[in-house]
Amino acid sequence: MLRREFIQKIGIGCTSVSLLNGTLFGKNLSTKKKKNVLFISVDDLRTQLGCYGHEETKSPNIDRIASEGLLFERAYCQQAICSPSRISLLSGMRCETTKIYGLKYQLSEKWPDIISLPHLFKRNGYETISIGKIYHHSKDDLNAWSKKPFRAMKGSGYITEEGKKIVDINKATNPSAGSKGPVTEMADAPDNHYSDGKLADKAIEELNHLKNKAFFLAVGFRKPHLPFTAPKKYWDMYDPEKFELAENNYPPENVTTYSLSNYGELRNYYKMPKGKDPVNDEMARHLIHGYNACVSFIDAQIGRIMNHLEELGIKDNTTVILWGDHGWKLGEHGSWCKHTNFEIDCNAPLIISDPSMKNPGKKTKALTEFVDIYPSLCDLHGLEKPNHLDGYSFLPLLNEPNLPWKKAVFSIWVHKKYRYDEEIQIIGYTMKTDRYRYTEWKHTQSGVVKTVELYDHRLDQQENSNVVDNPEYATDLVELKEMMKKGWKSALPDSK
């Protein structure tokens, strides 16, 4: 089915599509001034936000963006680790295509000729600015930007003398700790004493220069990535005694040997449990407190930028997109951090607001992927899409959020020891359908599936029981295996 036929089938007429900045799937139909793009990424941000129904987290500014746009309830990253997820999103290619599974490689090393999302906007006359953590590596894809990217953070970003001293103490006893010191810090200091506050200052400064230009302004906030460091006033917004610990602080029943990680990212901080020792309840509650404080800190910085966009009178000509690079565990499955293939790792926030939207403030349950962001922004801004893209534009959802959409979305996970040695490499290929999460752990060289996981989200949203051996699911397993074999293209909404 051609895309034009699909539009007619789902009932989006030319009038509604033309409202989207005068574009029709990549063709510019008007002479209006180009719309700007404010592209906000937040590291390690799970869907624990007010707009996602978690009222215990104070996130009024992100909630405001959602109220003015479309919130994707079921958006998924391509791999739950910073660098591969970001490279996939910005290149428009899945991790299976990039073959980048960890922090070792940059996009510009492996794929020097690929036109990334910001580079495409630059080629089309936009001023492209990078502030903070957009790519994981600060020197990646430098040709995409109109000037040198700005990074404010050094080391792990502690600002107190005590925090800096603990870095040295920790390194002396744990050489692999690097710049990691205390797992939290709550200085009674202004926002811009921390790096993310500096990033907001810089974004506001750049907006003053960009207000009369067409721009693609990318702002990447570091928190709530570890360590949980934020001004004291954001910690004071919460009563730590009111935080509830994870209900499922235990491994799933029938979990595989590949499913869980030992959350080494957390263990390298000062006085964190080592080996396989669990995080005790007191520390767990403190970490949950710190995570929420950091989310509120970042939310305030986003609010400052959004307010300035409005003060400059350019908000009504700006697409705002906000995304977290992957989810994060706060004790779920008896684990912490990301680095697994569970729903809580792969699912992450995605919110987009555009002045052409007819009915803002909606939510969509359509299955979408971060690799879809590149083609969607192309369509929304009338840019011709490169041929290398693996994603599928979700443009029709902006005005019709309940449209029938993808039958499944796909992510992968590759443990560190398997990443770049194909003789031993095992990749976890995970597929989320409307009802299930189905995962195959496959040996790359032989193609042999070592083990399988199946979680029934209709009965078990927390993924506490792998039901792959339950005979009641035998028929569905056959269908899921076939879907996985056919791959992501077969799951597209206009696929035959």
Residue among 77, 95, 119, 136 flagged as catalytic? 136
Going by DSSP bridges, is the β-strand pair 27-28/23-24 parallel, antiparallel, or unpaired? antiparallel
Residue located via tokens 């954001």: 234
β-partners of residue 453 are: 439
Going by DSSP bridges, is the β-strand pair 329-330/36-42 parallel, antiparallel, or unpaired? unpaired
Task: Give CA–CA dist 319/26, Å, rounded.
Answer: 16
Residue 22, classed as helix, strand or coil, is: coil
Q: Within 10 Å of residue 170's Cβ, how many Cβ atoms? A: 21
Contact by Cβ (8 Å): 293, 238 = yes
Task: Give CA–CA dist 153/146, Å, rounded.
Answer: 21
Residue 321, classed as helix, strand or coil, is: strand
Task: Choose among 424, 462, 465, 458: nearest CA to 441.
Answer: 424
Structure tokens at 99: 């073959």
Phi, psi of 395 (to 5 degrees): -50, -45
Distances (CA, A) of 91 to 45, 113, 115, 388: 21, 11, 7, 9
Task: Give CA–CA dist 241/308, Å, rounded.
Answer: 36
Alpha-carbon torsion 12, 14, 19, 25, what sign?
positive
378 a catalytic residue: no
82 a catalytic residue: yes
Residue among 51, 77, 82, 294 flagged as catalytic? 82
Give kind and range of the element (H or E) at residue 309.
Answer: helix 281-311
Task: Give CA–CA dist 60/134, Å, rounded.
Answer: 23
Residue 59, classed as helix, strand or coil, is: coil
Amino acid found at 475: T
Alpha-carbon torsion 42, 45, 47, 53, what sign?
negative
If you ran DSSP here, which 8-state letter would residue 23 be given? E
Q: Which residues are catalytic?
A: 82, 136
